[in-house]
């Protein structure tokens, strides 16, 4: 009888702890493969069949609204960006930023036998004896308040249709396709996040001694970095960060009570990775591969049935989130437009146009021979 009581108490303890936190995939790079082509059209208005996909349709963003009136319609049609793997960037710190390292440090799709397609990263660190680091960041800060909508045949996002009073898709674009399904990966954004208990990264080590950090931001715009470990191993491995200040015993927690309405949902947003190379370690090329990032966290708010639909009456959260969304789009659009302008100014020629072709050269040699005679 005593053993039964002990086992029952232990089982209740495990059940309580397992329901205390929730696991979610914050971002899965296997879902960010390029599958949509966004290129300039041909002179006849058609798109070339040889153009390869360069954007990810699920996360495609349109920033032409921030472009102004000085651009043509065709130019604005190209002002789209996404979280496609090839669109991610390597940002070097000042001690590592040289012309060659800026040109060679890049992100590419990496075919994997185990996971189909993952993120591959190349960073060129300095060979001198001084510290250096590099951030692998998305092409834009992931918007937390961008509404979800299906893409039409032109690559434009339509407003989500609703039926029977319920939305047919997720509320926000970068959330999971099915936020109620724990197995559905998000696209860099998880809502209703309280205290983070654990973070996990699935990465392939290449015996590099460098340190790996995960960068996350919260509702207040505060960015934090979490030390995941060192990459001095070979093969796929899951690196974990465990919150040393996480309190599992509810009786020793500080209980805080907040007003239920009107508070927006706290969230966790993926800001990228950071690779740190110590001065005592080898420099030059670094190669790394990443599959996904997962988090285990406490819910910020419990999902309960409310007698009154507060938001339908007051609309306070909607107005706040609309203002934040407009601010996010403004920052996102300005950055992308400036990059678009710079891209259009870049030289596209790989070599000089030959002054003398093969026919002219043969004619010149023939005329030279006649003149000699």
Residues 6+ positions from 58 with CB-CB distance below 8 Å: 31, 82, 187
More confident residue, 119 or 336: 119
Strand 284-299 to strand 89-92: parallel, antiparallel, or no bridges (unpaired)?
unpaired
Measured CA to CA, the distance from residue 193 to residue 298 in angstroms comes to: 6
What are the E-state strand segments in 192-319?
193-206, 211-217, 223-230, 234-242, 267-277, 284-299
- Range with the poorest average pLDDT among 36-50, 58-72, 288-302: 36-50
**pLDDT of 55 strictly over 70:** yes
Q: What is the pLDDT of residue 168?
A: 42
Share of the chain above pLDDT 70, in %: 82
Average pLDDT over residues 236-264: 83
User: Could you give the angle at the alpha carbon of 195 between the alpha carbons of 292 and 189, nearest 5°?
Assistant: 40
**pLDDT of 11 strictly over 50:** no
Measured CA to CA, the distance from residue 101 to residue 301 in angstroms comes to: 45
Measured CA to CA, the distance from residue 117 to residue 291 in angstroms comes to: 8
**pLDDT of 29 strictly over 90:** yes
Model confidence pLDDT, tens digit, residues 278-314: 999 988 999 999 999 999 999 887 776 677 888 888 9
Measured CA to CA, the distance from residue 219 to residue 221 in angstroms comes to: 5
Model confidence pLDDT, tens digit, residues 112-122: 999 999 999 99
Model confidence pLDDT, tens digit, residues 95-106: 899 999 999 999
Q: What is the pLDDT of residue 369?
A: 55
**pLDDT of 333 strictly over 90:** no
Q: What is the pLDDT of residue 304?
A: 63
Distance of CA 212 to CAs 133, 198, 285, 342, Å? 10, 15, 16, 32
More confident residue, 165 or 8: 165
Q: What is the pLDDT of residue 154?
A: 67
User: Domain residue spans in the chain?
Assistant: 20-347
Q: What is the pLDDT of residue 7?
A: 37
**pLDDT of 145 strictly over 70:** yes
Distance of CA 291 to CAs 116, 178, 319, Å? 10, 20, 36
Q: What is the pLDDT of residue 368?
A: 56
pTM of the model: 0.83
With contact defined as beta carbons under 8 Å apart, do 134 and 109 qualify?
no
Backbone angles phi, psi at 365, to 5 degrees: -65, -35
């Amino acid at each position: 009888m005593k053993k039964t009581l002990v086992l029952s108490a232990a089982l209740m303890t495990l059940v309580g702890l397992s329901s205390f936190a929730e696991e979610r995939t914050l971002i899965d790079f296997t879902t960010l493969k390029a599958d949509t082509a966004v290129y300039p059209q041909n002179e006849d208005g058609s798109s070339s069949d040889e153009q390869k996909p360069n954007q990810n349709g699920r996360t495609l963003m349109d920033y032409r609204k921030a472009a102004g009136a000085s651009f043509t319609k065709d130019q604005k049609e190209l002002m789209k960006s996404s979280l496609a793997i090839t669109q991610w960037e390597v940002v070097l710190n000042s001690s590592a930023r040289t012309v060659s390292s800026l040109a060679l440090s890049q992100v590419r799709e990496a075919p994997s036998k185990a996971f189909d397609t993952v993120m591959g990263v190349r960073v060129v660190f300095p060979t001198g004896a001084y510290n250096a680091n590099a951030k692998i960041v998305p092409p834009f800060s992931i918007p937390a308040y961008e509404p979800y909508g299906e893409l039409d045949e032109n690559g434009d996002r339509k407003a989500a249709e609703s039926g029977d009073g319920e939305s047919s898709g997720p509320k926000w674009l970068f959330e999971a396709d099915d936020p109620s399904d724990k197995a559905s990966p998000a696209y860099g954004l998880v809502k209703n996040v309280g205290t983070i208990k654990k973070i996990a990264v699935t990465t392939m080590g290449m015996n590099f001694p460098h340190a790996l950090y995960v960068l996350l931001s919260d509702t207040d715009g505060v960015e934090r970095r979490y030390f995941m470990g060192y990459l001095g191993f070979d093969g796929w491995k899951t690196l974990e960060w465990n919150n040393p200040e996480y309190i599992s015993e509810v009786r020793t927690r500080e209980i805080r009570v907040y007003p239920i309405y009107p508070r927006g949902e706290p969230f966790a947003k993926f800001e990228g990775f950071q690779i740190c190379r110590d001065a005592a370690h080898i420099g030059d090329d670094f190669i790394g591969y990443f599959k996904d990032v997962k988090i285990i966290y406490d819910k910020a708010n419990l999902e309960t049935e409310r007698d009154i639909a507060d938001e339908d009456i007051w609309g306070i959260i909607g107005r706040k989130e609309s203002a934040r969304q407009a601010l996010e789009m403004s920052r996102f659009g300005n950055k992308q437009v400036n990059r678009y302008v710079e891209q259009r100014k870049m030289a596209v020629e790989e070599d000089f146009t030959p002054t003398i072709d093969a026919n002219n050269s043969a004619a010149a040699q023939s005329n030279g021979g006649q003149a000699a005679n």
